[in-house]
Structure 1
Amino acid sequence: MAGLTAAALLALLVTQAVSATPVRVRTPYEVKESHFVPRGWKKLDRAPENHVIDLQIGVKQGNFAALEKQLYEVSDPSHERYGQHLSAEDVRELVKPSDESLSLVHEWLDAHGIAPSAYSSAKDWIKVSLPVDAVERLLDTEYHTYEHADGTRVVRAPRWSLPRNLHGHIDTVQPTTSFFRARANKYDYIDAPVSVSSSYVAPSDETLCKVCNVSSVTPECFETLYGTKGYKVQAAGENQIAFANYLGEHPIRTDLEKFLAKYRPEGISQARDFEQLVLQGGPGDYPLTPGELARSTSKEANLDVQAIAGINWETPIVSYSTGGSPPFDPSKSTPVNTNEPYLDWVNFLLDLDSIPQVISTSYSDDEQTVPRAYAERVCAQFAAVGARGTSLLFASGDDGVGADGACVSNDGTNSTRFLAGFPPSCPYVTAVGATMEFEPEVVAYRPASAGHGAYTSGGGFSNYFPTPRYQRAEVAAYVEGLGDAKYDGLYNASGRAYPDVAAQGLYFAYFWNGTEGVISGTSASTPLLSGIVSLVNDARLAAGRPPLGWLNPWLYSEGYKGLSDVTSGSAHGCGVEGFPAVEGWDPVTGLGTPNFPALVKLAGGRFHGN
């Protein structure tokens, strides 16, 4: 460095200190997480250095074990604390990180000259907005642009590192290794003729036969089939039901108005009154643009709001439209939220002092696209919502045990495996499968046809989460009945099994862009069942009881008595018939479909008729 002035030498040293990797750490960096790039993605170029990432750091929660213990207690009808749900502050106290964890994480960020841009309410998530080159230094990694077969591009790093002393204090950092793509579980056959099975037999019940048309199923059919007809809402001022939207989806009020005018005219005011909330730059409350029309945007959102309002039009409805996971645009360097949006949405909920008592979500992806640590943390956030007294219902998927031709593991072995879905594989949510026909109901299934893949109710066993205690007996009985030879090695018999329940999911009548059509999927079953659960809550609230909250312990111990078992059909997929429906619980339709009057009685509510 001969010849440099003192001032120049000082400037050079400062520059080197700022750019050093790492700047100052207590211990050397070691790889914290690696994750194989899923099938369907290919690596392109190094990510642009100035592309800004909203990085979310999941700090280890202080006492999740205590939260889980209390969640079970307040959700178990045999426990003395049943229904005594936790407050927002109670939950935050249980999950907030230790002072040591926060101190070490802040020390690490300070050493890199990084100041957090935001915190979750419990400070268990820290957000920093940084250009790619700074994130690469922070995590000792390299980001590349990856492109999916459908043209979507994201910036990801299949491995990342932390100083060794932080490994026990940080659970996950995203976006790094996750290729999770929340997709709607809907099958839209607007361009294909309705296909009715040759074995279909019309209901012998005259009332049911009169109102249920298998090729276009309407709210009048649902209320007759499931027994909500005549029920009068009693606690609308205390009760709410919500649904989540992603990928640019937002419900269209004029379409809901047309739907209600035809099928539920007494509830038409709901088209004007339901609340639309926008999170993380999601779409607002506006008519579809020409581009959105060309992409068939909001078919899912319209289905969700119409399925809920058709069965439960008197209870206030809330819509969440969350931005996130947009196509990557390398020409932009402004902060772009490329995180999977579930985390932003659930953290938003946990920041609220009051949460709707039932929330329906119709989006999921293959579990193996989500790194285990990230899935576990998002699942823990769902547990926190459940502890607050909210029922979270997720669609179980539309590909049975896995889409044909895609049933390959993502562990480097490329072995044939059934594909579990996430979030339905999270044990703290209630997963909803799909049925069709009416007397009896059977597993929803539509075989592949020209230009359209097969559709069948999704179900299976998690490879991340063990079988929870509330369903151990049911799962063990099913696996034993299936036998060792049946699909041995294709699924994890000791995993969390789903779905938990089911409802109609084929050929729902709905409106989109001013025109009526039909749409199918567990995306239909989930908001329909959510609407019915919300009515059960209404009956409980009117009787002076708290809402049901996390449903699963109640469903498996008592609620199943208010469900109609589905015993015919199977979860086609992966080139095989898949798991069959049987007497009792099965990983296709769960414990069965709702019998509303029976559920109300079991839940301690009162059926209040018109």
Structure 2
Amino acid sequence: PYTVPAELAEHLDFVGGLHRFPAERTAVSRAAEATKDVGAARAMFHLGVTPSVLRQRYNLTARDVGVLPNNSQACAQFLEQYFHQADLAEFMQLFGSSFAHRTQVDKVVGHQGHGKAGLEASLDVEYIMSTGANVSTWVFSNSGRHESQEPFLAWLLLLSNMSALPWVHSVSYGDDEDSLSLAYMERVNAEFMKAAARGLTILFASGDDGAGCRHVHSGNHTFRPSFPASSYYNIGGRASPYLAALSDNYWVVTNRIPLPWVSGTSASTPVVAGMLALINDRRLQRGLAPLGF
């Protein structure tokens, strides 16, 4: 609480800027004060997200890495996005000194373009291999388009026709749900159910606008969720996203250049996927099945 002189009180509604008073301070030595100021500056200035930041935030120690050869994880790439093995190697050299890791993707399924690396593709591969450290990693490179958008069905049919697959798949792509036909989405959903029956875990980026919004001239705006992130939802309501993780200001190496401030659910999706791959590793060590759907 605060007080003002009585002759002013009738002229005031409130005094602003006093919601939180500064904490009381006691005299300290100049050396201690200097150290305190440096700590405060570090707390205020954000240098970006790196694998070490993620591993500290989510309590991953140097021992939290994959150890089994039969464990695996994967990223799917679309829209002519490609990664470069050299970018991954440089990324791990810069940011992977505190944990055991791999510097190469073990298998690429599909065509890898020979042009410039895509920022999205670089982000996905580098961060699934940072949290899912030392886990065998595949990349599914999907060329072509479905109605100018990602050929999700072609990718899922490829998975359905492969006998051996990674247990966890991370996908940082999606389309506005209302831009796709109901028949197409139902067919894609059928393939998701097949994948779930096989014990696969598939994660999709939810999009960077939450539930999204479709503005219409009548003023009756509606939510505009992203598909396939909107698949398998609770019929009594929706939740977007189901899981959340750090997604802002990531460092990425693409075309041999370290770039800061890359953000979006495209970043958090492979991070969570890598964590699930580590959980699978622990389960497989104990003779248990992978997490699955």
Equivalence map 1:122-271=2 (5 Å): 214-233=46-65, 235-265=67-97, 270-271=102-103
| CA offset digits 1:123-142 (Å, max 9, x no partner) | xxxxxxxxxxxxxxxxxxxx
Q: How does 1:485-524 map to 2 (within 5 A)?
A: 494-518=236-260, 519-524=262-267
Aligned with 1:389 (options 199, 222, 231): 199
CA offsets 1:157-213 (integer angstroms, 9 cap, x no match): xxxxxxxxxxxxxxxxxxxxxxxxxxxxxxxxxxxxxxxxxxxxxxxxxxxx98997
The residue type equivalent to 1:407 in the other structure is H
Alignment identity in percent?
A: 33
Contact 1:216-1:508 within 8 A present in 2 as well: yes
- Cα distance change on mapping 1:266 and 1:301 into 2, 3 Å: same
Maintained 8 Å contact 1:241/1:318 = yes
Deviation of residue 380 (structure 1)? Answer: 1.7
TM-score normalized by the length of structure 1: 0.39
Which residue of 420, 424, 435 corresponds with 2:225? 420
The aligned length equals: 253
> Do the aligned partners of residues 211 and 218 (structure 1) sit closer, same or farther apart at CA in structure 2, a change above 3 Å counting?
farther
CA contact (8 A) 1:261 1:268 kept: no
Do 1:252 and 1:285's aligned partners in 2 also have CA atoms closer than 8 Å? no
* CA distance 1:530–1:388, shift in 2 (3 Å): same
SS at match of 1:399: coil
Tell me, in whole angstroms, the C-alpha distance in 2 between the residues paired with 1:270 and 1:256: 9
CA contact (8 A) 2:77 2:141 kept: yes
Aligned residue for 1:498, secondary structure, equals coil
Residue 377 in 1 paired to residue 205 in 2?
A: no
Q: Structure 1 runs of 4+ off > 4 angstroms? A: 209-213, 265-269, 337-340
Q: Is the 8 A contact 2:64 2:278 kept in 1?
A: no
User: Where does residue 143 of structure 2 map in the other structure?
Assistant: 323
Cα pair distance change 1:541/1:522, threshold 3 Å: same
The answer to whether structure 1 residue 536 and structure 2 residue 282 are counterparts is: no
Alignment of 1:339-488 (within 5 A): 340-402=150-212, 406-408=214-216, 415-427=220-232, 467-468=234-235
CA distance in 2, matches of 1:211, 1:250: 36
Q: What letter is aligned with 1:254?
A: A
Q: What's the CA shift for 1:267?
A: 7.2
Which whole-Å CA distance do the structure 2 matches of 1:234 and 1:526 have between them?
19
- Check if 1:311 corresponds to 2:131: yes
Task: Measure, in 1, the Cα distance between the counterparts of 2:254 and 2:273.
Answer: 21
Q: CA deviation at 1:233?
A: 3.7
Residues 132 and 273, structure 2, Cα contact 8 Å, conserved in 1 = no
Asked if 1:549 is matched to 2:265, the reply is: no
2:253 touches 2:259 (CA, 8 Å); kept in 1? yes
- TM-score, structure 2 length as denominator? 0.78
With over 3 angstroms needed to count, the CA separation of the structure-2 counterparts of 1:420 and 1:314, relative to structure 1, is: same
- CA–CA distance in structure 2, aligned partners of residues 386 and 213 of structure 1: 43
What RMSD over aligned residues (CA atoms) do the two structures have, in Å?
2.8
What 5-or-longer segments of structure 2 have no aligned partner? 1-40
Q: How big is the shift at 1:387?
A: 1.1
Higher strand share: 1
Separation of aligned partners in 1, 2:61 and 2:55: 5
Distance 1:339 1:527 in 2: 21
Contact 2:77 2:142 in 1 (8 A): yes
TM-fit CA distance, 1:393:
0.4
Q: State the secondary structure of the residue aligned to 1:223.
A: helix
Counterpart residue identity of residue 347, structure 1: L
Q: Is the 8 A contact 1:242 1:360 kept in 2?
A: yes
8 Å CA contact retained: 2:210, 2:240:
no
Deviation at 1:214, TM superposition (A): 3.0
Q: What's the offset of the Cα at 1:309?
A: 1.5
Residue 527 of structure 1 pairs with residue 270 of structure 2: yes
AA of the residue aligned to 1:408: V
- Which structure exhibits the higher relative contact order, with contacts defined as CA atoms closer than 8 Å and separated by 6 or more residues? 2
Give the structure 2 partner of residue 205 of structure 1.
Answer: none
| Counterparts of 2:283 and 2:141, CA distance in 1 | 29
Letter in 2 for 1:219: P
Q: Cα 1:241–1:542, aligned 2, differ >3 Å: closer, same or farther?
A: same
CA distance in 2, matches of 1:503, 1:256: 22
- Alpha-carbon distance in structure 1 between the residues aligned to 2:177 and 2:113: 32
Report if aligned partners of 2:215, 2:222 keep a CA contact under 8 Å in 1: yes
Indicate the SS of the match to 2:291. Answer: coil
Q: CA separation of 1:373/1:495 partners in 2, compared to 1, >3 Å: closer, same or farther?
A: farther
- Once residues 215 and 234 of structure 1 are traced to their aligned partners in structure 2, the CA distance between those partners, rounded to angstroms, is 28
Please, which runs of 5 or more residues in structure 1 have no aligned partner?
A: 1-208, 327-336, 428-464, 469-493, 551-610
CA distance in 1, matches of 2:56, 2:149: 42
CA distance in 2 between counterparts of 1:528 and 1:304 reads 8
Name the SS of the counterpart of 1:497 in structure 2.
Answer: coil
Contact 1:233 1:315 (C-alpha < 8 Å) held by counterparts: yes
Shift in Å, 1:374 = 1.5
Aligned pairs for 1:69-84 (under 5 A) are none
Residue of structure 2 in register with 1:32 after alignment:
none
Query: Displacement of 1:398 after TM fit?
Result: 0.7
CA distance in 1, matches of 2:205, 2:82: 18
AA aligned opposite 1:346 = L
